[in-house]
Structure 1
Amino acid sequence: MFHGSMVALVTPMHPDGAVDEESLRALIDWHVEQGTDAIVIVGTTGESATLDPAEHCHVIRLTVQHVAGRIPVIAGTGANSTREAIELTRCAMQAGADACLLVTPYYNKPTQQGLYLHHKAVAEAVPVPQILYNVPGRTACDMLPDTVVRLAEIPNIVGIKEATGNLARAGEILDRCGDKIDLYSGDDATALDCILAGAKGDISVTANVAPAAMHAMCTAALAGDADKARAINAPLEALHRDLFLEANPIPVKWALMEMGKIPTGIRLPMTLLSEPYHESVRAALRMAGVLDEK
């Protein structure tokens, strides 16, 4: 249903933490111009955990309105409360989002049956296309392939963002349910190989700062041109690594600040990037060709 480079967009904020709507609109326009294939708004990179429900829905509505059908909008609507996830997903559908991305319930550590029933409940309550999101390094909850296979039978569950970086895991999901749902990489460092193996694209942090290159890499990989994709990806490898020197989205927001794209807002408990990492991220931006030498 979706394909290519799908940016896991940051939520720009003023220094006091208020959402910066003007910068958000400018980022959206930039991504459309640069070839980004879809915008994923208020996912975990978008600091969904610290936006209250009213803000969360407002940012989704603003994004859908400003995108105005130019590219798809996928709204992050996951929560560790099934009721809250249903409410956010319903809000996103009413706002006109093309799909919703639902992270596995974090902190609760549900069983595999609990994960199945959680996502089944959301899918049955809200008839919008839904993408599962498995990122156990952040949630302490790992959705296993057997559970993905069960959920793939639900008609409006259309994909999974698999962010373990485990290519064997991705391959198993593709083998067992690739005819029922699409697989998307959620790990920039392994995204190229994941797409070459059959994934439909990458829900990307790196695309925040290098959208044109990520679009070109994904396009080449989807076309099966491995050599071209690897050549495009090579200058991005430092970004794939260094945008995770501290917890996401700390480094990527700092990188966008350094590029002049957003102001210095980030919400506690997240903080600005620690000074010892500044030069590493700057060097990665320069290597990718998105930051001039100073």
Structure 2
Amino acid sequence: MDDALVAALRTDGRMSVADLAKRVGASRSAVSARLEQLKADGSLNVVAAVHPEFLGLTAYAHLAIRTSGRSQATTDAIAALPAAAFVSAVSGDHQTVAELRLPDSPELYRTVADIRGLPEVEQVNTLVYVDVVKGLFMPGRPLPPWLRLDDRDLAIMLRLQADGRESYARIAEHVGLSPSATRTRVRFLVEHDVIRIAPVLSRARPDAGLVCGIGLNVRGAGDSVTAALAAREDTEFLARTIGRFDVVATIAAQSARALDRALEEISGRPDVVTAETWVHLRIAKERYEWPLPTAEELARR
């Protein structure tokens, strides 16, 4: 049931319990109880992620950090940075990888410089994102230029960042709208990609499986490679980059054998020149909630 629930929630994070029950072939009471149990033990949370453009984040980078000696202190120090969206201890030539999100390139450079200055850091290898081709919370299009939001929209987004399935009635109580007006605003925010509501699975759960990063050098523009990777169900994340790799991706598998098979399929493509992989050993940070701008800040844009 769990896999079916997650798959359904990925299509609509606010799908009703009745519709979820139809999707997974179980009773409403069973689905409701299972969702509550998964939320209570931290295995599954449904949250809203806000469009990076709305947050003023335009500079993205993937960092691979090589350290001397123990790496945990370095990993944890990077995880403490506000700009770090994802930080993990990994196997391979580097000991830590991180994804940074910042307002512009100068701030990105300063943050990378700060990481280079950490005591045990020997080298930081940086990939700058050209675009994100696939990502659970990454938008597929820019925000409409005519978009205007007010304090109540911001209040709704704040509630949904904490709980993407909070009832319309409860949200309405906090934002001073009727449940029907709240529903209309939430649908507007989702339909225009201001927010994406989706399930987040705990990497610490017993059945979490393996997560692997892969960096590719490709022939030419690599459009066929990115299209093929984006179409794979086991691809969690995919970006085109500038740096030592042309493409970087995250692949998930339930077993080492399944992961080996997936990596062989990807690296064996004729349009892939080289492939480098790393396995995520301890995910120190996976962040989806970011501070929202105020209505006054939005008005000045």
TM-score grouping bracket, smaller chain normalisation: under 0.3
Larger Rg: 2
Q: TM-score, normalised by structure 1?
A: 0.26
If asked which structure has higher relative contact order (CA below 8 Å, sep 6+), I would say: 2
